[in-house]
Amino acid sequence: MKTVIKNGVLLDNQNSFKKADIEMEGRVITKIGEDLATENCKVVDAKGLLITAGFIDLHVHLREPGGEHKETIESGTLAAARGGFTTVAAMPNTRPVPDTVDHLDALNRKIEETAHVRVLPYASITIREAGKELTDFSSLKQAGAFAFTDDGVGIQEAGMMLEAMKRAAAQDMAIVAHCEDNSLINKGSVHEGRFSKEQGINGIPSVCEAVHIARDILLAEAADCHYHVCHISTKESVRTVRDAKRAGIRVTAEVTPHHLLLCEDDIPGLDANYKMNPPLRGREDRDALIEGLLDGTIDFIATDHAPHGAEEKAEGMQLAPFGIVGLETAFPLLYTELVKKEVLTLKQLVDFLTIKPSESFSLPYGELMEGAIADIVLIDLEAEKEINVEEFASKGKNTPFNEKKCYGWPVMTISEGKIAWEKGRVQQ
């Protein structure tokens, strides 16, 4: 049976609203227009709702296998659907790591069995993400790897990174990098700046990230490889990526909602829900990230959704693990803080969550058009409510944004033509 979404509004390229209906058959959008016929169709009433392509998040941690007490593929992808995301890319810092065909095959079977939305699995650059031995890029690509990363740790040896980039380039695949020079971390748990000095705790300097990016950009140029920077966080890093793009080097970069919205000045005390890696930087860094997003230096937004158990985060700023959750709050936070405050247009925000990540990695998703896969989210831009961690589908409740009032809440997410989430109700 065909499904018709009626009475919604779409955004055009001029950031204006226009009324439209969308017809779907199977997993494909078949028609977009006004007053579409609904005979013998299932009808979804979208009156007063914005309709966009499903969001794409190319940096999430689903924790399974090995970390199921933090998150599972099932719970993490339901959280994604609740946040309007229909495509997520799962980082490989699991146990076991998807570093062999057998491990990746097992992961793909679990995704097929339990995921509510599309999951693109990363494979690791090195065996066990240990930084000692490269994986078999060719066989992992054939087994369905999306790209290669050792996210969570930076590749410390330049020679190994260069060889990895050469192998990735030979497979027309990307190297996706967590950029951090371990010799500069100084056992830090927050940014090295005003907050770390006031609290008397070790800080992670900005140069820790920027020097790895600078090194890797030159290696990517030598290897003719697509190089992607994870969760960029410092003004020096933004400057380095901007210079690389001007030089014609194939580099892309992502930024998280929390780095766009918060800086070290917003940390209220030693609350580990404000502990993430990279850490919240200085106000100048936050300003540089917004500028980099607006001028095209930074390509898209990704959440770095990183769930942890409450007891782990209760260990305090210095001992607790890095990371916060983000899938269920990304759009409302960004819409409230950036669009309503006229930092971004709504069209820009939607693009940073849809077509921009798709274009960066040549994915066939992220656009509302006839013939496209029916990945769709319906959003109530007028609804205002507080973020409530007790309502999360994610097992992780670790966010600094709990109880923050936001506008712009997804109310239905459709993945490949099927309702993946609707007002808290899962469709089987």
User: Residues of the chain with pLDDT > 90: what percent?
Assistant: 96
Amino acid identity of residue 148, one-letter, is F
Consult the annotation and say whether 277 binds a ligand: yes
Consult the annotation and say whether 62 binds a ligand: yes
Reported as a pLDDT band with limits 50, 70 and 90, residue 426 is very low
pLDDT of residue 425: 55
Please state the rounded mean pLDDT for residues 47-60. Answer: 98
Consult the annotation and say whether 417 binds a ligand: no
Task: Name residue, tokens 């146990």.
Answer: 95
pLDDT of residue 428: 40
**What pTM, to 2 d.p., does this model score?**
0.97
Beta bridge partners of 175: 148, 227
3-state DSSP call for residue 288? helix
Please state the rounded mean pLDDT for residues 26-33. Answer: 97
Cα dihedral angle (294, 297, 299, 305), rounded to 10 degrees? -90
Please state the rounded mean pLDDT for residues 251-273. Answer: 97
Mean pLDDT score of the chain: 96
What domains can be seen in the chain, in order of their start residue?
2-50+373-394+404-422 (2.30.40.10), 54-366 (3.20.20.140)
pLDDT of residue 152: 87
User: Residues of the chain with pLDDT > 70: what percent?
Assistant: 99
Reported as a pLDDT band with limits 50, 70 and 90, residue 186 is confident
Q: Enumerate residues 6+ apart whose C-beta is below 8 A from 146.
A: 89, 120, 121, 122, 123, 361
Consult the annotation and say whether 231 binds a ligand: yes
Q: Enumerate residues 6+ apart whose C-beta is below 8 A from 180.
A: 153, 154, 208, 209, 212, 277, 278
Contact 410, 83 (CB under 8 A): yes
The set of long-range contacts for 419-427, using a CB threshold of 8 Å and a minimum separation of 24, is 420/78, 420/81, 420/86, 420/116, 420/117, 421/78, 421/81, 421/82, 421/116, 421/393, 424/82, 424/391, 426/78, 426/116
Please state the rounded mean pLDDT for residues 55-66. Answer: 98
Distance (Å, rounded) from C-alpha 79 to C-alpha 99? 26
Q: Is the pLDDT of residue 224 over 60?
A: yes
Consult the annotation and say whether 322 binds a ligand: yes
Please state the rounded mean pLDDT for residues 334-344. Answer: 98
Residues with active-site annotation: 304
3-state DSSP call for residue 12? coil
Q: Is the pLDDT of residue 424 over 80?
A: no
Distance (Å, rounded) from C-alpha 63 to C-alpha 86? 18
Q: Is the pLDDT of residue 142 over 80?
A: yes
pLDDT of residue 220: 98
Report pLDDT digits (tens) over 207-220: 999 999 999 999 99
Distance (Å, rounded) from C-alpha 124 to C-alpha 147? 8
Please state the rounded mean pLDDT for residues 245-251. Answer: 98
Q: Which two tokens mark 396? A: 């992780």
Please state the rounded mean pLDDT for residues 266-276. Answer: 97
Please state the rounded mean pLDDT for residues 168-193. Answer: 96
Report pLDDT digits (tens) over 353-391: 999 999 999 999 999 999 999 999 999 999 999 999 999
β-pairing, 17-25 vs 85-90, is unpaired
Report the residue count for the chain. 428
Type and span of the H or E element at 113 = helix 101-114
Report pLDDT digits (tens) over 388-404: 999 999 999 999 999 99
Consult the annotation and say whether 191 binds a ligand: no
Q: What are phi and psi of 277, to 5 degrees?
A: -130, 115
pLDDT of residue 160: 97
Reported as a pLDDT band with limits 50, 70 and 90, residue 1 is confident
Contact 302, 58 (CB under 8 A): yes
Consult the annotation and say whether 136 binds a ligand: no
Consult the annotation and say whether 61 binds a ligand: yes
Consult the annotation and say whether 13 binds a ligand: no
pLDDT of residue 427: 44
